Structure 1
C-alpha cells in the first residue's frame, strides 16, 4: 500500500509540472467521424448506424477511442444509446460524442438538442452515467463561436454535466492559433482538455509535418495539466492544395504517438480516417494521381491567399554517386505547373542546384500550362574531378506575392554518369528526409498516390497504435 501511494503521488506531481500535459496511459488512440449507416433499412424503414461494421473497423485499427459525430437525424442519438455504446464497451472502446457548433449550421446541425449545449451536457452526462465507456464529448470548431460559448454559458454546461457524471470530459476542438492568452485565461479552466487539429498553421496544409513538434511543445507549456489530443488530417482539409497522403498521415501520427509517450500529448485522434471498406474515401480516384508516370512526384507549393517574400524557397536535395569512368555527367527530369505565358512572370522560379549553386532555372510562366516539359542539364564540366554531388530541385521566390497559387511538379529524373535511389519519386520515405523549407510560406513534399488509400493507411496506423 505504501508503494502504491508513492506511485500515485509521483504521478500526480508529474502531471502538475509546467509543460507536461495530463496523459492517461496508454493514451487515447483512435479516429473521429466517418459514421456509416447500414446498407439496407430495417423493418422500421430506417437505415440505422452500422455498429457492427464500425466496431470491426476500429478493432482492425487497434483503436481504443472513437469520436462519434452527431450529424443527421435523431437516429444517430438513439442508436448511440441503444446499440453503439454497449457494443463499444464489449469491444473495449471508449466513445466521445462530437456536437457541431452554431457556425457549422450551414452543413451540420446536431440532433436532437441542436444548439442547446446545456441540454447536450446534461443528456450526454446522463448517458455516460449508464455507460462508463462514454468518456468525453467535444464541440467541433468551438473557438469560432465564443460569442455563444461565453465563460458563463460554459460554466452552466460544466455544472450540468459534472453534477451527473463527474468523470465525463469536455474536450472542445480548438485550432493552434485560437489558443490566445485570453482563451487560456478564460476558457481553459472550464475544460478537461482540447482536441488540436494539426494543419501546419499559419499555412493550412496537409503536406508539411515538421512544425508539429514545435506546436505540440508550445501548447504543452502553455496548458500545463490540460489534456491535449492531436488530430491529424486523414481527410482533405478545406483550402489546402493537396489531399493528405498515406506517408504524410503516417509521419504525423508517428510523431504524435512519440509525444503521447513523452506526456506532452494525451492522445491521437485521426480526422475522418476511412476505416470501413465501403466508405467512399476508402479508395482515391485516378484523377488524384498527378505523377507523369507511376504514382509519385515531387510537389512545390505556394497556397492561395498566402504571402511570400523574396528568397523564400522549398527544396528536395539528394546526394548522388558518380559512376567511375563515365565520359558525361547529365541529369534530366520532367517538370510541370498550371501557369503559362499569360500569367505574371518574375515571381515563382523552378530551379536545379548542384552543390548549392543554381545550374538551371525556369520561370513558372515560361512553358504552356499543365504540360510536362523535359529539362536536360549537362554537369560534366562542373563535376570534373569530383567523386560525389548533391542535387536539389527547388521552388524559389524571385519576388514576394500576396495571392499567386502554384503547384510545381517534378518527376521521372534520369541520370547519366551519376546514380541515386528512387529517381522516379515512387517512395516518399526516400525523399521526405531530403526536404528543406526556407521562410515557411513555400512548402514541398513527395506526393505518392495510393489508390487503396483506406487499406494502406489503416494498416500503417494500426501498427503505430498497436505499438503506442
Structure 2
C-alpha cells in the first residue's frame, strides 16, 4: 500500500508541475511519526565557524530527541555542514528537518539568507528532496514565519513546491512554521490540503492546543473569541475593531459585567493598543495592552445604569488604536461573559450573535458562527516551546525562569501523550555541558513514550471526541 501511495503522490506531483493550482492529496507523509521529541538550532560550532556535528550528535543523543531542526542561516556553510551531519544523525537514529528562513528574515530585513539557494524555494524543495534520497533520515523541511510571508507562499506556489519535492521523493514532509495567533479556519482551509503538517509556536496553555487540534481535525466548535491587530501592518489613530450586542437593564442599581480576558503582548510599549468595554458610546473600562500576562484573568466592570429597567443598551468590546503603529500586532481574547443587573442577548459561546464594526486592518472571530475548515484528515500538529530565557520573556513577559519554560514543555508533552498533538520541539535549547535546563529536558524526553515511525499515537482523540467546550 505504501508503494502505491508513493507512486500516486509522485504521479500527481508531475501533473502539478503543469497545473500548479492542483491540490495534492491531504495525506500525511508515511515518514511523519507521532510522539516527536525535537529540538531546534543552538548548534555547537568549531573555531572555524563550521557546525561541530560530532558534538551536536552526541548532545542530541544524550537529550533523547527523535528529530532535530537544522537551521540553514547562521553561516554560508550551514548547508554543507548539514550534509556532513546526516550520516551522524543516521547512526544515532535521529530524523532531521531542514529549516529555512523566508523573505521577512532575509536581506534587506536581516544580514543573511539561507544559503546557497536563498529565496529560490523551488530549488530548495528539489535539493532537499535529492539529499533526502541519499540520506533517508532527512525526512522533512520547514519554512520559518510562514504565515507572515503568504504574499510569496500562495496556495499555488506551495503546491508547486510540493510537486517539485515529491517528484524526487514522495515521502518528504513539508511542515511550515506558524503561530497559534495565526492558526484560523481560513488559513487551514487554504493550506491544509497542501502541507504535511504544521509546527506551531509558542505554547501558552492547553487551551491553545485543544483549539488547534479541533481546527486541524475539521471539527466545528468554539474558537477563541478575540479582537486582533496584525503584525507588519500600519494603523492610524482612531482605527478599531469591535463586537457589539444588545442588552437590557434589569435593575435600578449598578450593574456588573464579568468576563475573562488575556492578551498576548507582554512588553512595556504603551499608548498604542487599548482594550475597551463600552455601554452605548460610553467607555466604561479601558486598559492598555502593555505589560500584561498571557494567562487568563477575571475582570469585573461596574456599570452605572444608563436607563430604566427594560430599556435596551449596546454592549461593545473594542480594540482601539490610540497611536499609529507600523509593526505591532496584538491578540485580545475574551471569554465567559456574564452580566449582573443587565440581561445580555448572547455570550462569547455565540459569536455569531455579535455585530462587528471596524476601521483599519483589525480582525475578529466575533460575528461568524463556528465552522470547520474542510480538511479530509487530522493535520499533524507539532508544538514549539520557547526554551531560552530571551524567547520566553519575549513571549510571556519578564522575568523568565526555568520553571516556567519547563511548565510549558510539560504541558506540551502531556498533550502529546494524550494525542492532542503529534510532538514537541524545544526552541534553541542550550546544549552546553552543565546546562541545568538541558538536563531537566533530558529527563522528560527520556521518560516520554516512543511511537514507531509510520504509526500514529493510539491516544489521539477521534474527530467526534474532541470537546466542543473547554
What TM-score does the superposition give when structure 1 sets the normalisation length? 0.52
Q: 1:59 to 1:465 in 2, by over 3 A?
A: farther
Deviation at 1:187, TM superposition (A): 1.3
Q: 1:226 to 1:26 in 2, by over 3 A?
A: closer
Partner of residue 67, structure 1: 69
Contact 1:24 1:266 in 2 (8 A): no
Deviation at 1:239, TM superposition (A): 5.7
Structure whose CA Rg is larger: 1
Q: Is 1:91 the counterpart of 2:92 in the alignment?
A: yes
Deviation at 1:66, TM superposition (A): 0.2
Contact 1:23 1:227 in 2 (8 A): no
Partner of residue 38, structure 2: 30
In the TM superposition, what are the counterparts of 1:24-173 in structure 2 within 5 Å?
27-38=35-46, 40-41=47-48, 47-81=49-83, 83-105=84-106, 106-107=109-110, 108-173=112-177
Contact 1:254 1:464 in 2 (8 A): no
SS where residue 163 of structure 1 aligns?
A: helix
Q: 1:239 to 1:174 in 2, by over 3 A?
A: closer
Deviation at 1:195, TM superposition (A): 0.1
Partner of residue 188, structure 1: 192
Partner of residue 384, structure 2: 231
Q: 1:215, 1:55 → 2: CA distance?
A: 35
Number of residue-to-residue matches in the alignment: 263
For residues 83-138 of structure 1, what are the alpha-carbon distances to aligned partners after superposition, in whole Å with 9 as ceiling and x for unaligned? 20010000100000100011112334211111111111011001001100001000
What TM-score does the superposition give when structure 2 sets the normalisation length? 0.52
Contact 2:159 2:194 in 1 (8 A): yes
Contact 1:22 1:225 in 2 (8 A): no
Q: 2:217, 2:387 → 1: CA distance?
A: 27
Partner of residue 15, structure 1: none
Q: 1:143, 1:121 → 2: CA distance?
A: 18
SS where residue 127 of structure 2 aligns?
A: helix
Deviation at 1:189, TM superposition (A): 1.1
Deviation at 1:78, TM superposition (A): 0.8
Give ranges in structure 2 of 5+ residues lacking alignment.
1-27, 219-374, 452-470
Partner of residue 354, structure 1: none
Partner of residue 205, structure 1: none
SS where residue 386 of structure 2 aligns?
A: coil
For residues 372-420 of structure 1, what are the alpha-carbon distances to aligned partners after superposition, in whole Å with 9 as ceiling and x for unaligned? xxxxxxxxxxxxxxxxxxxxxxxxxxxxxxxxxxxxxxxxxxxxxxxxx
Contact 1:31 1:270 in 2 (8 A): yes
Q: Is 1:217 the counterpart of 2:213 in the alignment?
A: yes
Q: 2:75, 2:442 → 1: CA distance?
A: 32
Q: 1:267 aligns with which of 408, 423, 429?
A: 423
Q: 2:30, 2:87 → 1: CA distance?
A: 27
Contact 1:67 1:97 in 2 (8 A): yes
Q: 1:154, 1:213 → 2: CA distance?
A: 25
Contact 1:22 1:263 in 2 (8 A): no
Give ranges in structure 1 of 5+ residues lacking alignment.
1-19, 42-46, 201-208, 283-451
Deviation at 1:251, TM superposition (A): 2.5
Contact 1:62 1:466 in 2 (8 A): no
Q: 1:74, 1:127 → 2: CA distance?
A: 18
For residues 5-24 of structure 1, what are the alpha-carbon distances to aligned partners after superposition, in whole Å with 9 as ceiling and x for unaligned? xxxxxxxxxxxxxxx99996
For residues 136-169 of structure 1, what are the alpha-carbon distances to aligned partners after superposition, in whole Å with 9 as ceiling and x for unaligned? 0000000000000011111111111000011000
Contact 1:232 1:253 in 2 (8 A): yes
Deviation at 1:243, TM superposition (A): 5.5
Q: 1:27, 1:249 → 2: CA distance?
A: 20
Q: 1:28 to 1:459 in 2, by over 3 A?
A: closer
Q: 2:379, 2:34 → 1: CA distance?
A: 16
Q: 1:163, 1:265 → 2: CA distance?
A: 29
Deviation at 1:210, TM superposition (A): 4.6
Q: 2:134, 2:212 → 1: CA distance?
A: 34
